[in-house]
Structure 1
């Protein structure tokens, strides 16, 4: 099996297309999906080549055009999936095996499909935040949180998606007010990633933060970061008229797909019970397929009701959400 790791887009070499193989461009590090690839190849005999494309995946696929060796893309967040679709570098795939993915977690034109989900939750200090003190996303704009909230940049894809979901539930005027209220409650200027916010809670710089669930799993595996994780608990807020906001890691078939049949076999495998279990457990996420249980660690974080808002609607509202975030100069 060959792996081509692309640290950057410029100056990299294309993966040569061979007969009966699958070439994947991935936003995720190859080691995070290697267990899946090994299982697929063991079952089918089809080799899979992974190119790690951290940035510029859309631009690369556009530049390669019909000559692209890529068959599939694997990425995180509905924003990136939406960008790939909007750029015209994906193709529609209609396959009965993929119908096991809930409609709200896949593109309404079958150009991308969710594989695992993660919730956008609140990390709360065990010492300074009482049980039941955090309830809804709307509540985060309440003045009671003034000087108590940390967050990464709100122009980050994860927070843009959350804002787009808020916009879908409440409309522009209320979303603008919510952003202003949330900004006024910040303990410090947005910076770093989700784990950095948990570190700030541990250090006493704030009491709650927004984050994705899977970061808890990542922190618990790190000797230094475990103490940050031990200082917080996961809280699943909801929208007042809905559930907890979720996002996806997902896949799509490229418009060129020189190995379409083999690529389709991989897509079908990725929604099998075995692959769903492996992928979700490896990445500390939730399977999208009904009947496949989350890992013991992920299940220990508690039960929640996912918001039923279709991710395609969230994707469509991304530009408007980003405009509102910039209008209030959230990160300023």
Structure 2
């Protein structure tokens, strides 16, 4: 037994053991790298998009999907808008490395310093003879600064984007309307590198004599070859109620041009509305108008009821009631007789037997 044990020890020392591979060992051996960086160019202001680039590279190949756990940072919106990574390959020290690049969109909501904590990554790569290896690792933390230019200090709301536009259209001439007429105002905002929910909206001021009915806005985000474009379409229907001159006031929208780093102002022109004629009759609370079929049915019902009343008055059928009541009374009497017992309660009612 001792000889057998010595043989096992000798064999164990003679045969070199291959360390079990995991993600951390691949990182320490330089066979796997994880880098995080910010794609920031120039000044960064609140509301402006910047991007966080996660680059994962392996000397073998990826054998499974990569999972990213996005942390929460107060005052910072972090979105993974791309569902797939950008794949590439490059030569390092004579070997071919496979690279995954993941992009996260960052939208700071305030000015000041930000710190993005380490991002957890679940990675699966091939480790040669040891097969596929899956594990978790962390990226390095990142810090960046968001400035507040003096031009934006007095603004309540602005759009920070390389491109921004606003335009409107009307489906009818508003200079010659009459009470009861309706028209539609369509306002469309478009911007690059911005989410549709971050685009501004147009208010609907109440005006007596001109009713406004806004529809829910239509938001759309699209991407084409890495270029993000968003739009917000707002439709408002107006109904003319009273004669007069009305004005849908102009509105100014502040735009921070991230390309030139300048503040611009886009103006939505005012719309003049002129209503002529007499005021529309207010039919609120009045009964709804009847259709032709309903009117014919109502006329037929009135005719039938009138005919029945005339027949009742002409022939007076109630005069036959005594003749109908007499047989009923006779029948009722017969029913009462049937309910009487066949024998008397006592066999000799006049005797005192049994008393």
- Structure 1-normalised TM-score? 0.24
The structure with more radius of gyration: 2
Higher relative CO (CA 8 A, sep ≥ 6), structure 1 or 2? 1
TM-score norm. by structure 2 comes to: 0.23
More strand by share: 2
Give the structure with the higher percent helix.
1
